[in-house]
Structure 1
Amino acid sequence: MPTYLYFGENEFFLTRTIKQLKTHTLDQQWANFNYTEYPPESKETIPQALSDIMTPAVGSGGRLVHLPNSTLLGVCSKEILLQLESILPKIPSTNTLLITNTHKPDARNKSVKLLLESAQVQEFPLIPQWQTEALIQQARTLADEVGVTLTTDAYTVLIDYTGNHTQLIFTELEKLKT
């Protein structure tokens, strides 16, 4: 599926998943030509991105168009909505449209409804600090990934120190491995 919608407050997992998608989609030799990130500040961002997503990739690999914190997840003009409707089913299979946001998009908006129907959606929620068991489980998963084995008390101390800051948990686990 060439369209992805990622959202959530856990920036560590969100960033990591974006990097994995880049690695999977782009040929590293052609990445500078085939990866485009459009900032949300400009009014011409959406039309440029929609035009870019229909352009074939240069060289080998695919094309990745990234819209971080896009206004596409808010209220869109009718013109943009119609353009989005016509383009989403026609995106070339080698091209990928990635829309990310730190907050859950409002499913009542027409553009969001359209994206939810045609995109692969993934949420990256931040575990609340009072859910200690869930945080310990997340730390165990990250520890397995890093290759560190800790005791139950060590996980408790780690979570007391780091809270729900996933990047810090990962960094501390990497330090422990060293």
Structure 2
Amino acid sequence: MPIHLIWGDDYEACNREIEEIIQKVIDPVWKSFNHSQIDGNDPKQNFRALEEVQSAPLGSGSRVILIRRSPFCNGCSIELANKLEQTLKLIPDNTHLILNNINKPDKRLKTTKLIQNSIQSNPFSKEISFILPLPWDVNGQRNLVKNILHRFNIKMNHKTIDLVVESLGNDSSLINTEIQKLRLFSEAVNKNLNTNEPQEISEEIVKKLVQNNSTNALQIANFLLKDEKIIVLEKIQTLLKNGEPALRLIATLTGQARGWLWVHLLDSQGHLDVKEIATLAGIANPKRIFVIRKQIQGKSLEALLELMKKLLKIEASIKSGTNPINSFKDNLLTESKFLTNN
């Protein structure tokens, strides 16, 4: 009864891992009979999945039941939890249950403990996570690029990797696409070389071939602090045209503004210990406090509050169906006490 617990916000890597399992265990001739994908947001489908996973595959190969947005490790009903406990004992050896969710499993839940114990007792089961590095985690972004380079048998020097990071940030899907393009180019120009050896990609080639997507939400946030509204709107428009989800963009900007506001408020109240401030502000990495302090130097609390109000209005406007770029324009271009100095 192999169980695969796959979680994290790197959709590209999660989907690749899921697809590799499917291709490995399912006979393509019987795939239409032996592959089911379930929406974990629907309680009825979850119960159906637990019924299906008790069935042996038809024909040759194995069966795969994939539950997207799986609720089992992040909170589900008592009835569903009881059904899972009964089902785990009845899954055939050649039926694979794949549980996929963006969120980290909650180890306090009984269902999580049951699933993780089942994984530990079966050598063909596994739990694997794919977490995107945060936008300010440059080392994490470098490691993300290195892992993808290794998978495509490509090597780059440190400077070239930094160029990729600068151009593409932590967009795993885009990095994957651009590095595949670099690999194809490398194969085309090195036909006579040993293809088993990693092909080195130079900085010059990356500059020519890799689309520069260096505009990101953190850059936009910094321009907001400087009250560079026109630049902000231009960069927002660029991101939206490149497929950046508007709600994800506003969520990042709101998170940044909330951090600035909390640090300013706690500093003004005499909280000087960065670990204490990080805990109270909900910031995972205390070292970010030093960066935030530098960013908000000379900014008033009233101005940061005003910015926060604007961003919340933009979020509400987008959620109500207004065109995202219009939501940004209508709220950011209105006059106010915007980021005035103390």
Given the two structures, how large is their TM-score scaled by the length of structure 1?
0.91
CA 1:149–1:75 in structure 2 vs 1: closer, same or farther (change >3 Å)?
closer
The answer on 1:168 being equivalent to 2:168 is no
CA 1:25–1:130 in structure 2 vs 1: closer, same or farther (change >3 Å)?
same
Cα pair 1:46 1:72 within 8 Å, conserved: no
The answer on 1:129 being equivalent to 2:135 is yes
User: Over alpha carbons, which structure has the higher Rg?
Assistant: 2
The answer on 1:38 being equivalent to 2:35 is no
Q: Which runs of 4+ in 1 moved over 6 A?
A: none
The answer on 1:156 being equivalent to 2:194 is no
How far is the alpha carbon of 1:65 from its aligned partner?
0.4
Structure 1: where are the runs of 5+ without partners? none
Counterpart of 1:44 in structure 2: which amino acid?
K
Instruction: Give the whole-Å Cα distance in 2 for the aligned partners of 1:41 and 1:86.
Output: 21
How far is the alpha carbon of 1:122 from its aligned partner?
1.3
Cα pair 1:73 1:111 within 8 Å, conserved: yes
What is residue 100 of structure 1 aligned with on the other side?
Answer: 100
What is residue 8 of structure 1 aligned with on the other side?
Answer: 8
What is residue 86 of structure 2 aligned with on the other side?
Answer: 86
Q: Deviations over 1:17-43 (max 9, x none)?
A: 001110112111111110001112433
Instruction: Give the whole-Å Cα distance in 1 for the aligned partners of 2:44 and 2:118.
Output: 23
Q: Which of 1 and 2 has higher RCO (CA within 8 Å, sep 6+)?
A: 1
Cα pair 1:25 1:62 within 8 Å, conserved: yes
Counterpart of 1:135 in structure 2: which amino acid?
Q
- Size of the aligned set, in residue pairs, is 178
Stretch moving more, 153-162 or 64-73? 64-73
CA 1:137–1:70 in structure 2 vs 1: closer, same or farther (change >3 Å)?
closer
CA 1:42–1:136 in structure 2 vs 1: closer, same or farther (change >3 Å)?
closer
Stretch moving more, 95-104 or 83-92? 83-92
In structure 1, the residue corresponding to 2:93 is in which secondary structure? coil
How far is the alpha carbon of 1:10 from its aligned partner?
1.0
Counterpart of 1:134 in structure 2: which amino acid?
G
Relative to total residues, which structure has the larger strand share, 1 or 2? Answer: 1
Relative to total residues, which structure has the larger helix share, 1 or 2? Answer: 2
Structure 2: where are the runs of 5+ without partners? 120-125, 186-342
Stretch moving more, 105-114 or 7-16? 105-114
Instruction: Give the whole-Å Cα distance in 2 for the aligned partners of 1:111 and 1:126.
Output: 26
Q: Percent identity?
A: 26
RMSD: 1.7
Q: Deviations over 1:105-134 (max 9, x none)?
A: 222222222222213321111112333233
Counterpart of 1:142 in structure 2: which amino acid?
I
The answer on 1:141 being equivalent to 2:142 is no
How far is the alpha carbon of 1:176 from its aligned partner?
1.9
In structure 2, the residue corresponding to 1:55 is in which secondary structure? coil
Cα pair 2:39 2:46 within 8 Å, conserved: no
Given the two structures, how large is their TM-score scaled by the length of structure 2?
0.49
What is residue 216 of structure 2 aligned with on the other side?
Answer: none
What is residue 76 of structure 1 aligned with on the other side?
Answer: 76
What is residue 49 of structure 2 aligned with on the other side?
Answer: 49
Q: Deviations over 1:78-116 (max 9, x none)?
A: 332222112213311100011100011222222222222
Counterpart of 1:16 in structure 2: which amino acid?
R
